[in-house]
Amino acid sequence: MAKVLMKGNEAIGEAAIRAGCLNYFGYPITPQSEIAEYLSRRMPEVNGMFLQAESEVAASYMIFGASAAGERVFTTSSSPGISLMSEAISYCAAAQCPAVFVNIMRGGPGLGGILPSQGDYFQATKGGGHGDYHLLVMAPNSVQEAVEMVMKAFPLAEKYRNPVIILGDGLIGQMMEPVEFPDHLVSTPSDKSSWATSGMATRKSTQRNLVRSLFLVGNSLEDNNRCLKAKYDQMKKEEIQCADYNIDTDYEALIVSYGTMSRVCRTAIDILKKEGIEVGMIRPQTLFPYPDAIVQKAAWKPSCRVVTSMELSMGQMVEDVERVVQGRRPVTWFGIAGGIVPAPEEIVDEMKRVLHAHQS
Amino acid sequence: MARVFQKPKSMTSAHTHYCPGCTHGIVHRLIAETIDELGIQDRTVGIAPVGCAVLAYHYFDCDFQEAAHGRAPAMATGIKRVRPDLLVFTYQGDGDLASIGMGEIIHAANRGEKFTAIFVNNTVYGMTGGQMAPTTMPNQKTTTSPAGRDVTNCGMPIKIAELISALQTPAYVTRQTVIKPKYIIKAKKAIRKAFEYQMAGTCFSLVEIVSTCPTNWGKTPLESIKWTETDLLPYYQLGDCKTPDA
Amino acid sequence: MQMDMMFTGFGGQGILMMGKIIALAALKEGKEVAWVPSYGPEMRGGTAYCTVVIGDEPIGSPIIQNPMNLVAMNQPSMEKFSQLVKPGGMILKNSSLVPVSSHRTDLTEYEIAANEIANDLGTVKVTNVVALGAFIECSGIFSLDLIRDILNQELSKKPALLDINLQAIERGKSACVSI
């Protein structure tokens, strides 16, 4: 299929449809409202379902209800809206309901701003809602990758019966880039008859199904949480996605960065290379599961003197970088969280400063 | 010998956990009888609330989902929008529907979502131990209004059926009770009517059922029935508030 | 090779569309391209801008703080952005609304009386397309034929508008002057 020029937000909406998800519940919030606008006109064309809910809280429970009934569903929002959805996300995780959430991040905390940010790393990877659960978290750095991740998200959510969240930022949503919708990422919904409340007649069964998250009796809560834990362990084995840049050189420093920030870093690495300074980059595409071993191996390369986590936040992913580097290299953080995406030159200057401070 | 009375097919044989004198059991039975009569057990999905009926799915033999506090109408919306062929009912108490879930029920009703809300109003938060609800009567003592509900401080009890009926979208909204056989017969008819409107795709339906909570009211079951008649029914008047053709 | 440009003006001048037409042309040429708008309150009648980065390799940072090329459609944007242009770069200003110059000696400046030409064509709505014609002339970025193709494609559902837009792009291209 020929490439088309699309805004990230619209491409995300179209990707879900191409992936076979024809049900969307949502609530407007900048900078992702174009997703709802796009789907409000596009869903009727494909006999799909679009509903604007009265709040993010309601939208997320519509997702829970529809998912529990066995249908593919998704919703999109931005940071403050994801906070409101986090309750339902916890319920979906507990009740093992697959659903796809997209967070086009804006600056926070509070009302924050509407410009790009990566301030929801903790929220997405470490919890967000209450209780012992994880989301499978994917972070695209281009419109094309956002499309592919959305399309992959549905079968992954079904494979693990767990919510998947795409962590984009305002720039990914607002930017236009050429995209194509790969046919090989089209997937068929999985068989949900063993658990979904689809109506006994639908699955030709006399056994009812229950979707619940309350476990009062005996060890049932412990058992459920162990079941969830086993899924997260399996994700760590099977679902890690990661990219790298300039990693075959004897780089003096390693950048770890994801999403929009990683693109700025890529340009900075090119500039540094021209000046004779080699810097490598690891770009996690899944933030949970985190590419522990890959980051560690790259950080421990003998030529590498220092590892820097580059973020559009006040230092969130750096905690994972520190965790996996295990003190074997100094780990620094550089970030901007006021809605400004830094120029590559700022990254160049920071890497020079860091390398100067950590002489061999 | 002919069998003249039996448990509805749509109920399990589990014993309920409800307190003596509580009317949840009667309401459960009326719903199950209706499901049986309409022959819809295999395409019904119920949604349990947070509250005393959180375990309702132990007693209904049909597909069930368990909602977060107040969110059942949003979940019901989710199901009906993706599976309009299923019969969906929420079973909610007054803390659930009239307090934390007020936004969800109003908007679901206003969109005319084609599901049925069974709203059990016993004027208190039952499961959490008898705290004040938006439906608690003036001067009624609860664990969070030990001196009685002060309406200058907390406002008057909310009449949900009337509130929902004020919406312009067509709906079937009625208030019933189950404290005596004559009321039970009417309540049963109302529940059936609500499900029939849903099956025909006509409208949203809400059946409010004024119920008892002897445990948290500090009354015997008989006193509770008497107090319902003398104090609740004059305020929460029975009958249809709104019909789709009106 | 990478080329970047910034289109600036006020909301309603069709600033984002100018960038989009260039981005579509880049796509048609098989180039990599990223189009980034300003968004939020700025869209509501204030300053609007978008940047377009075109290259043969995947675009790294799509955020351009110091563009090589600037199109300034009104005076506030000229004042705000002209000092950001890289030395050796280029500025095209809409002289109808921008009487001032950048006072920069390290770059090339062009002008186009876009509003007057658009009015002359019968509607101020094609001001942006007039300026776009001037931009392809002074930047040499794409051929007139390619931009014509894009206009044909984008306006296929509004044939009534196509003719005037094609006139606008040509008038703009021929009326662009160096200052």
Region for A112 from its dihedrals, namely left if φ exceeds 0, alpha if ψ lies in -120 to 50, beta otherwise:
left
Tell me what pLDDT residue C149 has: 97
Give dist(CA B243, CA B246) in Å, integer: 5
Is the model more confident about A36 or about C160?
Answer: A36
Subunit contact C20:A178, Cβ cutoff 8 A: no
The distance of A184 to chain B (nearest Cα, Å) reads 26
Band the pLDDT of C179: cuts 50, 70, 90: confident
Kindly report, residue by residue over A326-345, the tens digit of the pLDDT. Answer: 999 999 999 999 888 999 99
A177 plus A282 within the same structural domain: no
Which chain B residues touch A65 with a CB distance below 8 Å?
47, 65, 74-79
Kindly report, residue by residue over C59-95, the tens digit of the pLDDT. Answer: 999 988 899 999 999 999 999 999 999 999 999 999 9
Q: Which residue of C has its CA nearest to A3?
A: C27
A165 plus A312 within the same structural domain: no
**C45 pLDDT higher than 80:** no
A257 plus A179 within the same structural domain: no
Which chain C residues touch A270 with a CB distance below 8 Å?
60
Q: Is the dihedral of CA A27, A33, A38, A41 positive or negative?
A: positive
Chain C contact present for A270, CB below 8 A: yes
Chain A contact present for B42, CB below 8 A: yes
**A292 pLDDT higher than 60:** yes
The amino acid present at C14, given as its one-letter code, is G
> Number of Cβ pairs closer than 8 Å across A and C?
63
Class of residue B164 by CB neighbours under 10 A (exposed 0-12, middle 13-18, buried 19+): buried
Cis peptide before A109 (omega within 30 of 0): yes
The residue out of A238, A257, A274 marking a domain boundary is A238
Subunit contact B43:A95, Cβ cutoff 8 A: no
Which chain C residues touch A174 with a CB distance below 8 Å?
36-37, 39
Q: Which residues of B77-115 are buried (b: 16+ CB within 10 A; e: fewer)?
A: bbbbbbbeebbbbbbbbbbbbbbebbbbbbbbbebebbb
Q: Is the dihedral of CA B131, B132, B137, B142 positive or negative?
A: positive
Q: How many domains does chain A have?
A: 2
A211 plus A280 within the same structural domain: no
A12 plus A56 within the same structural domain: yes
Subunit contact B78:A201, Cβ cutoff 8 A: no
Domains along the sequence of chain C with CATH: 2-178 (3.40.920.10)
The residue out of A198, A223, A238 marking a domain boundary is A238
Residue spans of beta strands (DSSP E) within B95-158: 116-121, 124-125, 131-132
Kindly report, residue by residue over B119-162, the tens digit of the pLDDT. Answer: 999 999 999 999 999 999 999 999 999 999 999 999 999 999 99
The distance of A257 to chain C (nearest Cα, Å) reads 13
Which chain A residues touch C24 with a CB distance below 8 Å?
5
A11 plus A106 within the same structural domain: yes
A178 plus A62 within the same structural domain: yes
A287 plus A170 within the same structural domain: no
A150 plus A16 within the same structural domain: yes
The distance of A275 to chain C (nearest Cα, Å) reads 18
Of the candidates A67, A198, A220, A62, the one whose C-alpha atom is nearest the C-alpha of residue B62 is: A198
Chain C contact present for A167, CB below 8 A: no
Tell me what pLDDT residue A360 has: 74
The distance of A170 to chain B (nearest Cα, Å) reads 28
> Any idea where the domains of chain B sit in the sequence?
24-242
Band the pLDDT of C43: cuts 50, 70, 90: very low
ipTM: 0.95
Kindly report, residue by residue over A88-129, the tens digit of the pLDDT. Answer: 999 999 999 999 999 999 999 999 999 999 999 999 999 899
Kindly report, residue by residue over C158-170, the tens digit of the pLDDT. Answer: 988 999 999 999 9
Q: Based on C-alpha coordinates, what's the Rg of chain A? A: 21
Tell me what pLDDT residue A77 has: 98
Kindly report, residue by residue over C89-126, the tens digit of the pLDDT. Answer: 999 999 999 999 999 999 999 999 999 999 999 999 99
Subunit contact A55:B43, Cβ cutoff 8 A: no
CATH class of B24-242: alpha beta
Q: What is the mean pLDDT of residues B70-74?
A: 98
Chain A contact present for C75, CB below 8 A: no
What is residue B84's DSSP assignment? T
Q: How far is CA A184 from the centre of its chain?
A: 21
Dmax of chain B from CA atoms? 61
Give dist(CA A357, CA A355) in Å, integer: 5
Band the pLDDT of B246: cuts 50, 70, 90: low
Chain C contact present for A79, CB below 8 A: no
Which chain C residues touch A344 with a CB distance below 8 Å?
60-61
A253 plus A320 within the same structural domain: yes
Chains A and B touch (3+ CB pairs under 8 A): yes
Subunit contact B62:A66, Cβ cutoff 8 A: no
Q: What is the mean pLDDT of residues B210-217?
A: 97
* ∠ Cα A217 B90 B105 (to 5°): 120
Chain A contact present for B169, CB below 8 A: no
Chains C and B touch (3+ CB pairs under 8 A): no
The residues near A308 (Cβ < 8 Å, ≥ 6 apart) are A253, A254, A255, A256, A331, A332, A333, A334, A350, A351, A354
Domain of A324, CATH number, reads: 3.40.50.920
Chain A contact present for B67, CB below 8 A: yes
Kindly report, residue by residue over A294-304, the tens digit of the pLDDT. Answer: 999 999 999 99
Band the pLDDT of A2: cuts 50, 70, 90: confident
* ∠ Cα B138 B124 B194 (to 5°): 105
Residue A344 structural domain: 242-357
Chain C stretch 2-31, residues whose beta carbon is closer than 8 A to a beta carbon of chain A: 20, 23-24, 27
Domain of A34, CATH number, reads: 3.40.50.970
Chain C touching partners, 3 or more CB pairs below 8 A = A
Q: Testing the interface with C: which of A176, A270, A340 to mutate, by most C Cβ within 10 A?
A: A176
The residue out of A203, A238, A273 marking a domain boundary is A238
Band the pLDDT of A58: cuts 50, 70, 90: very high
A30 plus A179 within the same structural domain: yes
Band the pLDDT of C46: cuts 50, 70, 90: low
Q: What is the mean pLDDT of residues A270-286?
A: 98
A10 plus A58 within the same structural domain: yes
Q: What is the dihedral of CA C37, C41, C47, C53, to 10 degrees?
A: -10
